[in-house]
Amino acid sequence: MRFRSAALTVIAFAVAMAYLESAVVVYLQRALGITPDTLFPLRGAEIVGDLAAIEVGREFATLVMLAALGCLLGRGWVDRLAWTAVAFGVWDVFYYVWLWVMVGWPHSPNTWDVLFLIPGPWAGPVWAPVAVSVALVGFGFMAARRTGLGRAPRMSLARGLGAVGGGLLVVGSFMANAPSLLAGGVPGAFPWPVFLVGMVAASWSAVASLRAGARAYT
């Protein structure tokens, strides 16, 4: 019952937070006189100066709120990390769902978006962050469920390196176009092979940790 209650709480919070985030983005774009279809090239005011600092602060505050929810629901660091992953994944997926409902964007999974500004602009087709978020939700739920049953995932040095290395490759694929964007250009090809390798490495680490936890308690 606790797992079900926690899952419903995280989903409800993340979906509502995604609506709020989408509404803020729509308001901001209307105030700046731009549309999602004219994100590139980035306007100078959007990546430098006071507005950029405010936007970075908003992104950081979003991460703090999602992590705070995970910390409130989790009973240990693994449980807290798992619920934070679920909250982030649900929030990110429904961010695009609500944008589509509000303004009919993104037009397709291949539509490009500016994903993040910390420490520089991240960009990629919408399907890529959604794939990451779906993986976070799936592995997060499994880790939280098994932790609640006393079979928490078990990390090792190799599995930890796989998770960190995979994550860095995924982030690197999103930031591959950062120099061009900062120079006032448009994004080029998305380095999907790098993204794919990173996803495989991180997923292997998650699956191996879950299996190790299951074996340890049988």
User: Looking at residues 182-208, what average pLDDT do you find?
Assistant: 95
Q: Torsion-angle region of residue 40: left (phi > 0), alpha (psi -120 to 50) or beta?
A: beta
**CA 53 – CA 26 distance, rounded (Å):** 19
Confidence bin at 184 (pLDDT 50/70/90):
confident
**CA 96 – CA 93 distance, rounded (Å):** 6
Confidence bin at 16 (pLDDT 50/70/90):
very high
Confidence bin at 46 (pLDDT 50/70/90):
very low
Q: What pLDDT does residue 1 have?
A: 54
User: Looking at residues 12-19, what average pLDDT do you find?
Assistant: 97
pTM for this prediction: 0.92
Q: What pLDDT does residue 146 have?
A: 93
pLDDT digits (tens, 9 = 90+) for 137-151: 999 999 999 998 888
Taking the CA atoms of residue 36, residue 42, residue 45 and residue 47 in that order, the dihedral angle to the nearest 10 degrees is 110
pLDDT digits (tens, 9 = 90+) for 63-74: 999 999 999 999
**CA 89 – CA 95 distance, rounded (Å):** 10
Residue spans of the domains in the chain: they are 2-153
Which of the pair, 29 or 178, is modelled with greater confidence? 178
pLDDT digits (tens, 9 = 90+) for 186-197: 999 999 999 999
| Distances from the Cα of 111 to the Cα of 29, 114, 139, angstroms | 17, 10, 26
Q: What pLDDT does residue 45 have?
A: 44
